[in-house]
Amino acid sequence: MENESSCVSALEYEMECFAWWALQLPGRVEQVTQDLLTLQRIGTSTLLADVVVARDTTARLHGLACEGGFAEVARVFSSYYEVYCRALLSMFREVS
């Protein structure tokens, strides 16, 4: 149990470091801030437009995390990207 909580703490720390690093990048502050707020706002929305925006946002943040060397953060955004892609496939199947 202690090992699990230390992993969560390590990931939380890396997320904080990523956010701090990303917000220091010249010319990207607005985009990063908007991306992080967008994901927080959308949450678990089931609206098609929101899921598309969330998918695109996680892809951007994944790329940024990779660029900064934040492998665990990139893995988290990659996982969310996959979730949003699967949600879109499911939505498109329902429509067709």
Instruction: Tell the residue number behind the tokens 């959308």, with chain if given.
Output: 42
Query: Distance (Å, rounded) from C-alpha 48 to C-alpha 25?
Result: 31
- For the chain, give the longest Cα–Cα distance: 47
Q: How far is CA 95 from CA 5, 45, 58, in A?
A: 41, 17, 24
Whole-prediction pTM = 0.80
pLDDT score for 86: 93
pLDDT score for 1: 46
pLDDT score for 43: 74
Query: Distance (Å, rounded) from C-alpha 34 to C-alpha 60?
Result: 11
Q: Which residues 6+ apart lie within 8 Å of 75 measured at CB?
A: none
CB 54 within 8 A of CB 42: yes
The tens place of each residue's pLDDT in the chain, 96 residues long, gives: 455 556 668 888 998 999 899 888 888 888 888 888 888 888 777 788 888 999 999 999 999 999 999 999 999 999 999 999 998 998 888 776
